[in-house]
Amino acid sequence: MSTATSTESKELAPVRTESLAALLIARERPPRPSSLSTSLTFGWRAILKIKHVPEQLFDVTAFPIMNLLMFTYLFGGALAGSPSDYIQFVLPGILVMSVVMITMYTGVSVNIDIEKGVFDRFRSLPIWRPSAMVGYLLGDALRYTIASAVMLVVGLVLGYRPDGGFTGVVVGIGLLLVFSFAFSWIWTMFGLMLRTEKSVMSVSMMVIFPLTFLSNVFVDPRTMPGWLQAFVNNSPITHLASAVRGLMAGEWPADEIGWTLGWAALFLVVFGPVTMRLYNRK
C-alpha cells in the first residue's frame, strides 16, 4: 500500500457543487433492506476482495493440496498398506481437516478489517447488526467450496473413488460447509476480542491443531489410550469426519450427521451472540 502510486490531487477534477446540490435535494430514502439482502451484499464485498486480491486464494488451493499429498504418501504405506488404499479412508478426513483449518483465517481478516475506518461506517448503518459478520462467512463459504473442489479433483487423480457418487460428495461437502459456517463464529469472536492479528493467529493455532489432529481424521481411534479416546470420540471434528466419510461412501450415517448438526447449532448459539456483543461494544 505505498502512497507513491497515489494519483496527485493536482490532476483532480473540481468538485461540482451544483450537481452535488442537485443530488442532495433528493431526500427520499429507500425502505430498510432485509437482513438477507444486507448479508448477501456483505458476501458480495468478500467476493470483490477475492477478485482484487486473488493471492488470498493460496490458502484454499495450495495448502489443501499440500496436506493431501503429504499425509497420503507419508502415512499411506504404513497405515493402510498403500497410499491408494489409504486415500479412500483419509480423503474425506483431510478435506474436513483442511477446511476447518482454513476457517481460522476468518478471525484474522475480521481483526485486520475492524482496525480500519470502514467498520465504523458499517456499524453506523441502520441494518441488521450481524449482516457484516454473516457476509464474511458467506464469502468464506465460497473459499471452502473452492478448497473442497480442488482437493476432490486432486484426490480423484490420485485414485480416490467415492461410492456415494456425485450426490454423496455434494451432500458431504454441504454438511462440511454448514459446520464450518457455524464453527467460524469462534473465529469472529477472537477476531473482535484480541488486539492484534498475530495474537488472533496464535490463539487460533492453539485451538485448531489439537482439535483437528485429535480426531479420527487419520486413524481409527481404537488404538489410542482410553482417556484420549474419550476426547476423540466426542470431538465435533470426529463426528463431522465420520459423517462426511459415510456420505461420500454412499451411506447415510444419521447419528453422525445429527451430532455434527448439533455441534454446529451449539457453536452458533454460543459464539454468535458473543461475537455480536463484542461487535456492538467495539
Partner 1 sequence: MRTQTSGLAIETAGLAKTFGETRAVDGVDLAVPAGTVYGVLGPNGAGKTTTVKMLATLLRPDGGEAHVFGHDVVREADEVRARVSLTGQYASVDEDLTGTENLVLLGRLLGHGKKAARERGAQLLEAFGLTDAAAKQVKHYSGGMRRRIDIAASILNTPDLLFLDEPTTGLDPRSRNQVWDIVRAVVAQGTTVLLTTQYLDEADQLASRIAVIDKGRVIAEGTKGELKASVGAGSVHLRLRDADQRPEAERVLRELLVAEVQLEPDPVALTARLGAAASDTAAGQAARALGELARTGITVDNFSLGQPSLDEVFLALTGHDAGQDTGHDTKDEVTA
Pick the closer one to partner 1 by CB: 87 or 110.
110
> Taking Cα atoms as reference points, which of 119, 134, 124 lies closest to residue 37?
134
Chain centroid to Cα 266, Å, comes to 17
Cβ neighbors of 104 (< 8 A, separation 6 or more) are: 187, 201, 204, 205, 207, 208
Residue 159, Cβ density class (10 Å: 0-12 exposed, 13-18 middle, ≥19 buried): middle
Q: Is 12 helix (H, G, I), strand (E, B) or coil?
A: coil
DSSP output for 130-164: THHHHHHHHHHHHHHHHHHHHHHHHHHHHT---TT
6 scored as a contact of partner 1 (CB under 8 A): yes
Query: Radius of gyration (Cα) for the chain, nearest Å?
Result: 22
CB of 194 to partner 1, least distance (A): 18
Binding to partner 1 in span 104-123, by CB under 8 A: 116-118, 120-123
Which residue's CB is nearer to partner 1, number 30 or number 225? Answer: 30
Q: How far is the CB of 255 from partner 1 (least distance, A)?
A: 42
List the one residue out of 49, 64, 241 whose CA is nearest residue 146: 64
18 vs 166, beta carbon nearer partner 1? 18
Mark the segment that binds partner 1 (CB under 8 A) among 15-23, 189-197, 252-260, 266-274. 15-23
CB of 220 to partner 1, least distance (A): 45
Residue 195 lies near partner 1 (rule: CB under 8 A): no
| Beta-strand runs (E) in 57-114 | none
Binding mask 16-55 for partner 1 (x = CB under 8 A): xx-xxx-xxxxxxxxxxx---xx--xx-xx--xx--xx--
Residue 120 or 163 with smaller CB distance to partner 1: 120
Which residue's CB is nearer to partner 1, number 82 or number 196?
Answer: 196
Write the interaction track for partner 1 spanning residues 125-154; mark x where CB under 8 A is met and - where it is not. Answer: xxx---------------------------
Task: Give the CA distances from residue 150 to residues 98, 145, 179, 213, in Å, rounded to whole numbers and listed in that order.
Answer: 11, 9, 19, 22
Our CB check for partner 1 shows the closer of 27 and 222 to be 27
Indicate if the alpha-carbon torsion angle 132, 138, 142, 143 is positive or negative.
positive
Q: How far is the CB of 131 from partner 1 (least distance, A)?
A: 8
Binding to partner 1, residues 53-92 (CB under 8 A): 53
- Tell me if 281 contacts partner 1 by CB under 8 A: yes
Q: Closer to partner 1 at the Cβ: 16 or 161? A: 16
Task: Render the burial of 222-247: b for 16+ CB within 10 Å, e for the rest.
Answer: eebeeeeeeebeebbbbbbbbbbbbb
Residues that bind partner 1 (CB under 8 A): 1, 5-9, 12-17, 19-21, 23-33, 37-38, 41-42, 44-45, 48-49, 52-53, 116-118, 120-127, 281
